[in-house]
Amino acid sequence: MNSLYIARESMIHRLDPRTKILFVLFIVISSFLFKDPAMQLILLIGMFPLVLLSKLVKQYLMSMQFLMLFVVLIMTIHGIYNPIGETPVFEIFGGLTFKYESLVYASVMSFRILVIGTAAVIFVMTTHPSDLAIALMKWKVPHSIAFMFLSTFQIIPIIAREAKIVMEAQQARCLDVKANIFERVKHLVPLFAPLFIITFVKVHQLSYVLECRAFSRNGVKTSLRETKISSLDYMFISGMLVLLLTELYLSFAQQISLTTSNLLVSSLFAVWAVFFIVIVKFVYKKVSVFIGG
């Protein structure tokens, strides 16, 4: 694996990267158009068929786990403590009251994270980095900048791999990475210093390698991979346009509000439940390794 891209034979994979960039932009704009949690939820659920289409459901859910941490924290802490709240909705532990306005604020924020996160994950997982660079160049982005973009995508897994080796190498020098939290903060230096050095060395090498292969030569550059806008892309783009217009109409002319306190409470519980499952799964994994399953 040399990037976050996961190869599959799917409709979403076949889309031109430019279409998918537009798609991410469209989702970001739509998400910021609505200040109604229900609409954010609709966006989120509406994107799920795309995940299904790209055949990456498992990987998608795995990457969302991490975002759930933020969502739970935002929903819970803002729901209780955000000062904009006035109308109490329900109470836990006797003193902590979730308020309607704060819950609306919190759920818009956290669902927005999920919505934009989903769009980004779909984009990154279904777009080959080289295709992205080519697509950018077709938009007249200079080659070197497109390449910078591309290499950033590709260097992340390399750094992750090196980080693992450095971690092992430092443990071999008796660094206790499983010590208490204060110790661990101190241990960031021995873990990051070699990593930085190695990354710089690698990038430096990369620049030499590129020059050896005539990277800075002027003129038109061709590519092995080709991206083409097909009828599928046009369909997709026009669909997005229609949706965007509808959204604009809905949010400015109609001022719709589908949110009820029931919806808020149930989504809060749903978030808690999902987070709980994630935690249980995580703990189970740790424990099973410890027991030696």
- By the criterion CB under 8 A, which residues form the site for another protein? 162, 165-166, 168-179, 190, 193-194, 197-198, 201, 289, 292
157 vs 190 by CB, closer to another protein:
190
10 Å Cβ neighbour count for 70?
Answer: 14
1 vs 45 by CB, closer to another protein:
1
Phi and psi based region of residue 168 (left: phi greater than 0; alpha: psi -120 to 50; beta: remaining): alpha
Q: List CB contacts of 143: < 8 A, sequence separation 6 or more.
A: 137, 221
CB of 233 to another protein, least distance (A): 34
221 vs 285 by CB, closer to another protein:
285
CB of 73 to another protein, least distance (A): 28
CB of 168 to another protein, least distance (A): 5
**Among all chains, which residue has been given the structure tokens 């779909």?**
122
CB of 151 to another protein, least distance (A): 21
CB of 167 to another protein, least distance (A): 9
CB of 155 to another protein, least distance (A): 17
77 vs 193 by CB, closer to another protein:
193
Structure tokens at 141: 């982005």
141 vs 198 by CB, closer to another protein:
198
171 vs 261 by CB, closer to another protein:
171
User: H-type helices in 82-173, by residue range?
Assistant: 100-126, 129-138, 143-171
Torsion 6-127-218-206 (CA) sign = negative
Tell me which H or E stretch contains 181: helix 181-186
